[in-house]
Amino acid sequence: MVRLEIRDDELEVEVLGLHKLWALRGRIRVPLSAVATVRRLEADQAHGWWKGLRMPGTHVPGLIVAGTFYKDGERHFWDVRNAHRAIEVQLSGGPFDRLFVEVEDPDQAIRTLVGARGA
């Protein structure tokens, strides 16, 4: 799971707890201007077995996907155990093309990101 924070026109994604070990990353920062779209993660995306080439990270199908993955020419970051609490953040010009992350409250996270980006 991650915590999302808006700081000085930046989105900060903090990977929490043991997820840092599985994802091999503790924090991602991207400019808010790089956030293109935000939406709930679709179940077939979360439960599918192929996330791309894992470099580095952890993937146990049906249990956890965490880390950096390369798929279809894009660089993705995943940190998802419970797909029902996950969102997808599409980026333009950031260190990743997409973030797939589990958050405490997906609807609130989406409202926060959309509101901050629109401000």
**pTM of the model as a whole:** 0.93
Tokens at 28, concatenated: 């991602």
- Strands 86-91 and 98-102, by their bridges, are antiparallel
Q: Is the dihedral angle over the CA atoms 102, 79, 92, 40 positive or is it negative? A: negative
Alpha carbon distances (Å) from 10 to 35, 89, 101: 10, 14, 17
Q: Is 53 helix (H, G, I), strand (E, B) or coil?
A: strand
Per-residue pLDDT tens, the chain, 119 aa: give them: 999 999 989 999 999 999 999 999 999 999 999 999 999 998 777 777 788 888 999 998 888 999 999 999 999 999 999 999 999 999 998 899 999 999 999 999 999 999 987 75
69 and 52 Cβ atoms separated by less than 8 Å: yes
CA 45 to CA 49: how far, in whole Å? Answer: 9
Q: Quick check: helix, strand or coil at residue 45?
A: helix
Cross-strand bridge partners of residue 66? 58, 79
Judged by DSSP in three states, 110 sits in helix
